[in-house]
């Protein structure tokens, strides 16, 4: 047989279009995508023939039904969303790559209502005239933080930028060298600060900064002092830093705004739940910070947002900055944040119903029970693998509480007939997109970040891999 004969086995586009399985597809997917996929798959076959060895030509054949299946998968892949729900089995609660905080199921209806309908986003219902989108969040955040005023922007990096651009324009900002953190994805706080029109003046050394360092750097161009909560690393041992209340006591800093970037802002003192103390927004305000910035989707457990709280005169100035328009939040963010914050009015409710807080404070006995349940389900599958429950540690993640060791239980799976990396890859690419990790040649799933209602996805996919 010659290559010409092999080419003649390629079906025509029309022939494929008349296949009943493809005809079914036309009712559910755009025709353009189907045609594109048919051409793509036929071209792949054509290339296969081009690169075929002489000796393989005779045995070359095209199984039409296999080609049809390929085309159907191709259409589905093209049509499916690129962003997908995954099962987080990593035990990292604020996993930046996996979307940081999960929103509370309690706010679902409200969020859908606002997203799918018109709303009073910028409309004052009592006056019947234009209102401000920022007003919706002011009262609740004032209530929860004790601050005078509030402004919410797109994320915390944007909050830092807006604060410095507004308060330190054409002047200098003093910041301790030990607090210049990199926040992941190689974004440095210092670079964000320099995007504003102020100049950064670093004082002190990596491990020690004294009040005299701030005083020495202070001059007539100084516009602000910035404190950054080093939420993603800790310098231990021989260290010293200056607290906000100390800075506030200095006569010469009286007129300066003292700004604190908290990063992961928390409203609840987590030391009450057996964790180490993480500075709360309320404490920063009490210590005298004039402006405090923090993320909506780190430990707060809400949507991505940058929350700015502080003195009215400073926030008022920020609202007039043209940057605010560029950094403004969307109605879905406002709805999700307001609804999440309302849960905080009752602390017990917040711990139980905000997934991020619930996962951080989850007790070991509860995780033990949860792991037993998953273990039992997996053992019932009778798969050809060693399966066991193990003690391990989870992480808060998202650059928060880096030293916190959260004791947990994991399920470890070691397949007998294929590699652990094959198992990891297959579960990751499965319909449920299960993300686990490999440790000591075992596949590990941490139950802390997995919902019980996701166990059945794991069981279904394990069944498929092992069959
Ligand atoms: C995470 C973090 C940021 C950036 O916050 P985003 O909401 O991710 O923009 C800024 N500062 C500190 C200290 C942080 O930890």
Mean pLDDT (whole number) for 181-187: 62
Closest ligand 1 atom number to CA of residue 157? 9
Q: Which of 164-178, 231-245, 295-309 has the lowest mean pLDDT?
A: 231-245
Q: Are residues 340 and 380 in the same domain?
A: no
Within 6 Å (CB) of ligand 1, which residues are found?
Answer: 155-157, 160, 181, 183, 189, 228-229, 231-232, 261, 263-264, 295, 306, 399
Ligand 1, pocket-test mutation among 298, 356, 398, 400, most atoms within 8 A of CB: 298
Q: How far is the CA of 417 from the centre of ligand 1 (A)?
A: 44
Mean pLDDT (whole number) for 351-368: 97
Cα→Cα distances 102→55, 277, 354, 356, 426, Å:
57, 23, 8, 7, 25
Burial of 308 (0-12, 13-18, 19+ CB in 10 A): buried
Which pLDDT band, with edges at 50, 70 and 90, does 379 fall under? very high
Which residues is 200 bridged to in the sheet?
173
Q: What is the pLDDT of residues 28-83, one digit of tens each?
A: 999 999 999 999 999 999 999 999 888 888 888 899 999 999 999 999 999 999 99
- Of 299, 321, 353, which residue constitutes the final position of a domain? 353
Q: Are residues 109 and 186 in the same domain?
A: yes
CA atoms within 13 A on the CB side of 11: 20
Which pLDDT band, with edges at 50, 70 and 90, does 321 fall under? very high
Q: Are residues 169 and 311 in the same domain?
A: yes
Q: Which of 5-19, 412-426, 431-445 has the lowest mean pLDDT?
A: 5-19
Ligand 1, pocket-test mutation among 161, 176, 180, 261, most atoms within 8 A of CB: 261
* pLDDT at site 226: 94
Q: How far is the CA of 297 from the centre of ligand 1 (A)?
A: 10
Buried b (16+ CB within 10 A) or exposed e, 122-149: eeeeeeeeebebbebbbebbeebbebeb
- Which residues form the domain of 257? 105-353
Residues of the chain with pLDDT > 70, as a percent, come to 97
Mean pLDDT (whole number) for 106-135: 97
Instruction: Quote the CA–CA distance of 432 and 450 in Å, as a whole number.
Output: 12
Q: Are residues 193 and 294 in the same domain?
A: yes
Q: Are residues 279 and 343 in the same domain?
A: yes
How many domains, the chain?
3
Residue with CA at minimum distance from ligand 1 atom 6:
156
Q: How far is the CA of 303 from the centre of ligand 1 (A)?
A: 14
Q: Are residues 377 and 337 in the same domain?
A: no
Q: Are residues 273 and 256 in the same domain?
A: yes
* pLDDT at site 184: 57
Which residues is 391 bridged to in the sheet?
409
Q: Are residues 53 and 150 in the same domain?
A: no
Closest ligand 1 atom number to CA of residue 296? 7
Q: Are residues 149 and 278 in the same domain?
A: yes
346 contacts 144 by C-beta, under 8 angstroms: no
398 contacts 380 by C-beta, under 8 angstroms: no
Residue with CA at minimum distance from ligand 1 atom 13:
263
Which pLDDT band, with edges at 50, 70 and 90, does 179 fall under? confident
Task: State yes or no: pLDDT of 346 exceeds 70.
Answer: yes
Find the CATH number of the domain harbouring 195: 3.40.640.10
Q: How far is the CA of 153 from the centre of ligand 1 (A)?
A: 13
CA atoms within 13 A on the CB side of 225: 28
Q: How far is the CA of 183 from the centre of ligand 1 (A)?
A: 6
* Average per-residue pLDDT for the chain: 93
Q: Are residues 345 and 236 in the same domain?
A: yes
Ligand 1, pocket-test mutation among 97, 189, 263, 300, most atoms within 8 A of CB: 263
Cα→Cα distances 169→121, 160, 193, 321, Å:
31, 13, 11, 11
DSSP code of residue 293? E
Instruction: Quote the CA–CA distance of 329 and 152 in Å, as a whole number.
Output: 7
Q: What is the pLDDT of residues 195-245, one digit of tens each?
A: 777 888 999 887 788 999 999 999 999 999 999 987 665 566 667 788 899
Residue with CA at minimum distance from ligand 1 atom 5:
156
- Of 353, 372, 388, which residue constitutes the final position of a domain? 353
Closest ligand 1 atom number to CA of residue 295? 7
Question: Can you spell out the DSSP letters for 362-398?
Answer: --HHHHHHHHHHHHHHHHHTT-SEEEEEEEEEEEEET
Q: Are residues 182 and 237 in the same domain?
A: yes
Closest ligand 1 atom number to CA of residue 297? 7
Q: Are residues 30 and 168 in the same domain?
A: no
Task: State yes or no: pLDDT of 103 exceeds 70.
Answer: yes
Residue with CA at minimum distance from ligand 1 atom 10:
263
- Of 305, 320, 353, which residue constitutes the final position of a domain? 353
Which pLDDT band, with edges at 50, 70 and 90, does 187 fall under? low
């Amino acid at each position: 047989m010659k290559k010409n004969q092999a080419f003649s086995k390629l079906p025509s586009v029309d022939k494929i279009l008349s296949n009943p399985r493809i005809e079914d597809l036309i009712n559910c997917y755009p025709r353009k995508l189907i045609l594109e996929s048919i051409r793509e798959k036929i071209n792949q076959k054509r290339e296969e023939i081009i690169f075929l060895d002489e000796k393989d030509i005779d045995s070359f054949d095209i199984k039409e039904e296999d080609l049809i299946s390929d085309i159907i998968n191709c259409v589905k892949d093209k049509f499916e969303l690129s962003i997908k729900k995954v099962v987080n089995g990593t035990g990292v609660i604020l996993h930046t790559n996996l979307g940081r905080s999960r929103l509370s199921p309690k706010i679902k209806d409200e969020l859908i209502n606002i997203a799918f309908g018109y709303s009073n986003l910028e409309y004052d219902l009592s006056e019947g005239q234009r209102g401000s989108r920022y007003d919706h969040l002011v009262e609740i955040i004032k209530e929860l933080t004790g601050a005078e005023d509030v402004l919410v922007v797109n994320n915390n990096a944007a909050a830092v930028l807006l604060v410095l651009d507004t308060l330190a324009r054409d002047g200098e900002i003093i910041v301790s060298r030990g607090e210049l953190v990199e926040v992941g994805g190689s974004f440095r706080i210092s670079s964000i600060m320099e995007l504003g029109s102020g100049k950064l003046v670093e004082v002190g050394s990596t491990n020690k900064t004294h009040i005299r360092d701030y005083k020495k750097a202070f001059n007539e161009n100084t516009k602000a002092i910035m404190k950054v909560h080093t939420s993603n690393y800790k310098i231990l041992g021989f260290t010293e830093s200056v607290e906000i209340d100390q800075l506030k006591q200095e006569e010469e800093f009286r007129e300066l705004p003292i700004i604190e970037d908290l990063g992961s802002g928390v409203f609840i003192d987590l030391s009450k739940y057996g964790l180490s103390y993480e500075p709360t927004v309320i404490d920063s305000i009490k210590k005298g910070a004039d402006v405090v910035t923090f993320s909506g989707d780190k430990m707060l457990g809400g949507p991505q947002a940058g929350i700015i709280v502080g003195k009215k005169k400073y926030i008022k100035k920020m609202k007039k900055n043209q940057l605010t328009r560029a950094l403004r939040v969307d109605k879905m963010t406002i709805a999700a944040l307001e609804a999440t914050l309302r849960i905080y009015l009752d602390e017990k409710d917040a711990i139980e119903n905000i997934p991020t807080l619930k996962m951080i404070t989850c007790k070991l006995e509860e995780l033990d029970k949860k792991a037993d349940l998953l273990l039992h389900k997996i053992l019932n599958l009778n798969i050809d693998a060693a399966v066991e429950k193990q003690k391990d540690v989870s992480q808060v993640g998202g650059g928060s509480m880096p030293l916190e060791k959260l004791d947990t239980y994991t399920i470890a799976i070691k397949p007998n007939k294929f590699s652990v990396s094959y198992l990891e890859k297959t579960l990751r690419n499965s319909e449920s997109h299960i993300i686990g990790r490999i440790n000591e040649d075992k596949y590990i799933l941490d139950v802390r970040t997995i919902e019980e209602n996701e166990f059945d996805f794991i069981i279904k996919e394990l069944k498929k891999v092992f069959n």
